[in-house]
Amino acid sequence: MRRWIRRLSVITGLVASILFSGCSSSDSVSVGERPDVAFISNNAHEFWSIAKKGTEAAAKETKLKVAFLMPPQGTSEEQRRFIEDLMNKGVRAIAISPNDSANQVDFFRTINNRIPVIAVDNDIPSPEARRCYIGTDNVAAGRAVGKLIKQHVPPGSKFMIFVGKLDSQNAQERRLGVVTELAGGAENAKESIEKMNRNEYPVKFGDYELLGTMTDDADQAVCRRKAEDTLTKYGDVKCLVGLWAYNPPAILEAVLSQKKAGEVVIIGFDENEETLKGIREGHIVGTVVQDPYNFGYESVKLMAGLIQNEPSALNRPDMNAAKQIFIRHRIINKDGNALPAYQDEKVEAVDPFHSRLKELKGQ
């Protein structure tokens, strides 16, 4: 048994090493070469391939060697192994979308005391544990999802939320934004939010009833099964909301498999190819997208400024007092019309948005 455990440990270490030095790292870093800075995603889904393009563009401009790492299983343990390996290699700054950030504040505070840490996409709930946050204002983006619900789902309807993990701050904030918008503001939602956080479902938010929050541990197949179970258990559910990139395609597969297209409204998050196809075909009413390219680009530019001790690095005009740089979200729908329920949002039609996305991906 001990021999088997030792072998497993060796295999795990080899896998981590391969992931660092091989296909998971940016083209700007060769095998065995020390990176100047690094970007670590929170999973290996397609969303992050766009962020990688941004890091590569910034690497050319700054002349930095950038490692880009994606944890295959999307765990905080993998991320910590990456960071330890990077520190041993002498990396000078790290940008990361941290998993389970609330339980890793001490870890990130220690790293941030040694080299700059930039939180991307998921913030770290301590100003001492990172130099800056770059990403979406996830509460505001969640409110955009709530506006889509109000536009497309009749009052009095029941809905379900799907997301990978609730230990990620972006998941918590997006969900908070959704229900706050439906309730008509934070004060109106206070008691219901407390019930939701205790998993005391169903919970009423304004004219809508949230049946629950389904998590899948970042597994698209699990998400689909849970969406199918939801459709079977709750015959009167009118809306399914997916808050991570792979959730909407999984939900769509479930809806199509049960022949409920047109009966159940699907609302998404992020720009997964299948999500955009679903919008084009009329199966998904809209998705709220971020800007992963600029997540990567701005992170590397900021890290370059920090390691070069530029005084302006953390005094940018687009940085707020909490050291956050918010990159604007957008609503993508079929025709680009800004309907009354969300006329204050930036809205784009799916086809031109998709064309620009393919250019970013080099397709």
pLDDT digits (tens, 9 = 90+) for 173-189: 999 999 999 999 988 99
Level-2 CATH architecture, domain 138-289+329-361 = 3-Layer(aba) Sandwich (3.40)
Q: How far is CA 79 from the centre of its chain?
A: 15
Question: Structural domain boundaries of the chain?
Answer: 2-136+292-326, 138-289+329-361
In this prediction, residue 341 carries a pLDDT of 65
Q: What is the pLDDT of residue 342?
A: 66
138-289+329-361 matches 2-136+292-326 in CATH topology: yes
Beta pairing class for 132-135 and 117-120: parallel
Beta-sheet pairing, 93-96 with 158-163: unpaired
For 122-133, write each residue's pLDDT tens digit: 899 899 999 999
Cα–Cα distance measured from residue 336 to residue 347, given in angstroms and rounded to the nearest whole number = 6
Q: What is the number of other CB atoms lying within 10 angstroms of the CB of residue 191?
A: 11
> Which positions ≥6 away from 217 have C-beta within 8 Å?
74, 164, 165
Read off the pLDDT of residues 321-353 as tens digits, 9 standing for 90 and up. Answer: 999 999 999 999 999 987 666 668 999 999 999
Please list, in sequence order, all residues whose beta carbon lies within 8 angstroms of the beta carbon of residue 350, skipping any fewer than 6 positions away: 276, 279, 280, 332, 333, 334, 336
Give the Cα separation of 323 and 121 in Å (integer): 14
> DSSP code of 329?
P
Q: With cut-offs at 50, 70 and 90, classify the pLDDT of residue 7.
A: very low
Interatomic CA distance for residues 239 and 247, integer angstroms: 13
Global pTM value: 0.80
pLDDT reading at 6 higher than 90: no
Per-position DSSP letters for 239-308, written without gaps between them: EEEE-STTHHHHHHHHHHHTT-BTTBEEEEES--HHHHHHHHTTSS-EEEE--HHHHHHHHHHHHHHHHT
Q: For 131-154, how does the pLDDT look when each residue is reduced to its tens digit (9 = 90+)? A: 999 999 999 999 999 999 999 999
- Give the pLDDT confidence of 163-174 residue by residue, as tens digits: 999 988 889 999
Class at the top of the CATH hierarchy for domain 2-136+292-326:
alpha beta
In this prediction, residue 20 carries a pLDDT of 43
Query: Radius of gyration of the chain from Cα atoms?
Result: 21
pLDDT tens, 33-64? 789 999 999 988 888 989 999 999 999 999 99
